[in-house]
Chain A
C-alpha cells in the first residue's frame, strides 16, 4: 500500500489549508482550489510570470520567490500579488546610442540607487542585481548585460526597490543595446540567417508543425544540445 501523503498547514490569502508536503506554492494554491488566471506561466521557472511573496513561520521577513519554484513549508503564509509595477518607456532601438545618456533619458530613476542591495536579496535567479544597476550608472553596458543574462523579468527586484527603479527593464535595454551595438558580430549567425532566408529549413519546420503533440514531445526531450 502506498505511503500516505504527509500534509502540512499553510495560509493562503489568510485562510488555513492543508496541502501535500513538498508542493510548490503554485501547486498548493491549485490543490486548495484556487484557479490561477494571473501570476502563472510556464510552471518551469523560465518565464518569470509567477513572482509571489510569502512569510515563513516565525520569521517576520517578507520573502519573495517564484510560485512555481518555491516549496511550501509548515505554517507558511502566502498571498498572490497583483502585477509588478513597471516604468516602461517606448523606444526604437535604432535611434539609441549604447551609453549612459540613453538611460538618463529613458530610465532616469536608475540614478536613484542607494546601493541597499534589496534587489539582489529579492532575486530568485541569484543575480547580483545591484551590481548591474551600478554598471549601468557608470556606462558599462557590457558588464550589465553579462551580469543580468539570467534575468527572467519576474519583477521582484522592482517590487522591493526603495528607489522605485525598474531593474529588469533597465537590464533588458542594456542587453539590447549590447547586442545591437557592442557585441562582437557573429559570422555563424549571419550564415545561419542566410540559410533560413534561402529556405534551407522550411521542410523541417513544416514537418515539425504538422507533427502530433506526443511525437513532438518525444523528440523534444530526446534532442541533443551542443554547447561549444
Chain B
C-alpha cells in the first residue's frame, strides 16, 4: 500500500530517528510512505479563533499536494494523508474539520490561494500511523513480529494531541486503548497506569521549563510505581520533554530512577527485526539500549 506521507519539521530535524524507524517498520509490513513532493509546516498549533483564517492556509496547502499526488499518479485513489507526529496530526485534522464543516471558510481559503492550480475539495482524510495499523489489524501486525518483546513492561503515553479534542481524537480520550493494543501486538507487557494521557507541558518547554519539569517528574514517578521499564509515545514533543527533562531531574536528584522513552516505531522496528542502525537509539537522551540488551532484544 502506498500512502501520501506528511513528515512535519521535527521528524526532519531533531527526531530523524523517529522517522527512519517508522519508514523502515512500515516497509516490513507492506506500507510504503510516499512523502509529499512539496510540503510546508503543518502550522502548529491549530488556531481556535473564528476569524484567524490565515492559520489554516498551511494545512490546506498540504491537502492540495495530496490531490496533486493522485493526479500525478504518485498514489492511486488515495485521499488519506498519513502523519506520524501527534501535533501535526492534530493541527492538520482540526483545520480539515473546519474546512469540511464550513463551506464559507473553505471558499475564502481557496480564493486566497495563489499559484495553486486547483481548489481544495474538502475530501482529504488526515490519518495517524497508529490508526492505519489498527485498521490493518493489530492481530495481523502480531503475526509479522519476528522478535517478540517478551517481558518488556511498556507504559503507553498518549499525551494530549492524539486524543483531544474528541472530534479528531484517534481513540476514547478518557480510556484509550490503541497504544496498549499496539504494545500487545509486539508481545510486550502493557502497564496499567494513571499518567498516560496527562499533559507533558508541551511548549512550556521553551520558556517555562519548570512547568514541564514538574509534570514530567510526576509522569515518570507514576510509570515507575506501576512497574514500567519503558515508555512509548507517538509525539516528538512529548518524547523530547520526557527524555530531556528527565535527564535534568536526574541531575538534580541522583536517586531519581529514569525510564527510557521510545518512539512507538522504535519498539515496532525491534519487534519486526530491523537492524539497529534503522532505529537510531543512540539519539535517545535517556539510555535506550541498556534495557533492550538486558532483555536480549538487541546486541
Contact = CB atoms under 8 A, between A and B. Distances in A.
The judgment on whether A and B are partners is yes
Interface of A: 99-100, 111, 113-117, 120-121, 130-131, 134, 137-140, 162
A137 B9 contact: yes
Given A100-B13, A134-B39, A139-B12, A162 B114 contact: no
Interface in B188-237: none
A109 to B, nearest CB: 14
A39 to B, nearest CB: 26
Contact of A137 (B38, B41, B61): B41
29 contacts: A99-B13, A100-B13, A100-B14, A111-B41, A113-B40, A113-B41, A114-B55, A114-B57, A115-B41, A115-B43, A115-B58, A116-B54, A116-B57, A116-B112, A117-B57, A117-B113, A117-B114, A120-B115, A121-B114, A130-B40, A131-B38, A134-B39, A137-B9, A137-B41, A138-B12, A138-B13, A139-B9, A139-B12, A139-B13
Given A113-B40, A114-B58, A131-B38, A120 B114 contact: yes
Q: In which size bucket is the chain B interface?
A: 10 to 19
A134 B43 CA distance: 11
B39 to A, nearest CB: 7
B62 to A, nearest CB: 9
Q: Which of A134, A140, A162 has the most CB of B within 10 A?
A: A134
Nearest to A134: B40
A121 B114 CA distance: 7
Contacts of A120: 114-115
B114 A134 contact: no
- The B interface is mostly helix, strand or loop, or mixed, namely loop
Contacts, number: 49
Interface string B7-50: 10100111000000000000000000000001111010000000
Contacts of A138: 7, 9, 12-13, 41
A140 B40 contact: no
B120 to A, nearest CB: 13
Interface in B110-135: 112-115
A140 B61 contact: no
A138 B8 CA distance: 8
Interface of B: 7, 9, 12-14, 38-41, 43, 54-55, 57-58, 61, 112-115
A138 B7 CA distance: 10
B40 A115 contact: yes
Given A114-B58, A134-B41, 7 more contacts: A115-B58, A116-B54, A117-B115, A120-B115, A130-B40, A134-B39, A162-B54
A115 B64 CA distance: 13
B54 A114 contact: yes
A111 B14 CA distance: 15
A104 to B, nearest CB: 10
Contacts of A99: 13
A114 B41 CA distance: 8
A4 B293 CA distance: 90
A114 B56 CA distance: 8
A102 B203 CA distance: 20
A131 B116 CA distance: 13
Contacts of B39: 134
Contacts of B114: 117, 120-121
Contacts of B61: 115, 117
Nearest to B7: A138
A114 B43 contact: yes
Nearest to A121: B114
Contacts of A100: 9, 13-14
A134 B39 CA distance: 8
A166 to B, nearest CB: 18
B99 to A, nearest CB: 15
Across chains A and B, which 9 residue pairs bring their CB atoms closest together, nearest first? A115-B58, A138-B12, A115-B40, A139-B13, A134-B40, A138-B9, A100-B13, A117-B114, A116-B57
A140 B11 CA distance: 12
A111 B40 CA distance: 11
Nearest to A162: B54
Nearest to B59: A115
